[in-house]
Amino acid sequence: MHYLTTLVQKIKNNRNIVVATHRDPDGDGIAAALASAYLVKHYKRKKPILFCHSRIPLKYQFLLGDWEFTRKVPDFDLLVAVDSADISRIFPKIAEDKFKGAAIINIDHHRSNNSFGALRIIDETASSACEIIYFIFRNLKIRISKALAEIFYCGIYNETGGFVYPNTTKEALQIASELVGLGVQPGPLVKQMNAKTLGGTKLLTKVLETIEVKDGVAIMYLHQDMLKRSSADMSDSENFISFLQAIKDVRVSMFLREEKDGTRISLRSDGIIDVDKLARQYGGGGHRLAAGLRLRKNVHAAKKEILRAILHRIKNKS
């Protein structure tokens, strides 16, 4: 376990430590950052700074306890980057070479991870970033409090879609069981995590109206005016794509969200094509069955471009 020794040494030897997760954070990313912050605090007896480019969605605020994230890019000697395939996912507006020379620990489970950082703890077979960090705690024999157990549970639950996505491995379920043993009550915790805002639910009805399905490909989109009309927030649409992939005979799903300077596209596949490869063609990435990308194009043009790429890959079985 040489990398664990290095990890602990780096935490012990650096003074200004920042733990960061990716922009537009999901449950796994936020939970992985919080768990890593607990890890740093364990060795330093002092809290690290938590950074995220985006605001933490309301639905995950309950996980924070007495922690808080800053959106102001902090100075650091050591950066612990979690759940992020690329440093630009953490710092979208900063040139990469600004961090040359700084110590970076890269903890991730995305296949598209581009191996940034001096210490890389990357396991694409892990269900989630939280799973990797859970095993770090176990291997270092650090006690996991009930509060931390809840954080791990939420992260793994979120990344596996409630233990239903293909990344619901034996390990994921085993960890969940161990976390329940540490005091997690799945029922109330999941209820809290899945609580929807009224606006988010109204937004869902508007987005679902746009569904089109053709030749096994399901498409739907979200325009900025839908957010306004339902008083919802973009983060309310986090799991909407699962409605597409749940439709019978749908093999590939595409969810397009209008942003200020382009379109954000989420992709899901049942295995017929590799959406990570497709997303990477456009500077995005993720996993074989779930990936995302951004295009500097409007929703209509983005849909045309990516649909063409999807159909091409289906035809060539890639």
Site residues (CB under 5 A) for Mn ion?
28, 83, 129, 159
CB 173 within 8 A of CB 163: yes
Measured from the CB atom, the residue of 83 and 238 that comes closer to Mn ion is 83
How crowded is residue 102: how many other Cβ atoms within 10 Å of its Cβ? Answer: 15
Distance from C-alpha of 81 to C-alpha of 32, rounded to nearest angstrom: 9
In the complex with Mn ion, the residue whose CB is nearer, 26 or 258, is 26
CA distances from 78 to 75, 114, 145, 233 (A): 9, 19, 25, 33
- 122 forms beta bridges with 108
Nearest distance in Å: CB 294, Mn ion: 18
Closer residue to Mn ion (CB): 84 or 230: 84
Closest to 104 in 3D by CA, of 112, 115, 95 = 115
Output the residue with the shortest Cβ distance to Mn ion. 28
Q: Which is nearer to Mn ion, 134 or 221 (CB)?
A: 134
Minimum CB separation of residue 126 from Mn ion in Å reads: 9
CA-to-CA distance for 153 and 28, rounded, in angstroms?
9
Question: What's the min distance (Å) between Cβ of 146 and Mn ion?
Answer: 23
Measured from the CB of residue 24, what is the shortest distance to Mn ion in angstroms?
12
Compute the least distance from the CB of residue 199 to Mn ion, in Å: 25
Q: Which is nearer to Mn ion, 129 or 307 (CB)?
A: 129
Amino acid (1-letter code) at residue 229:
R
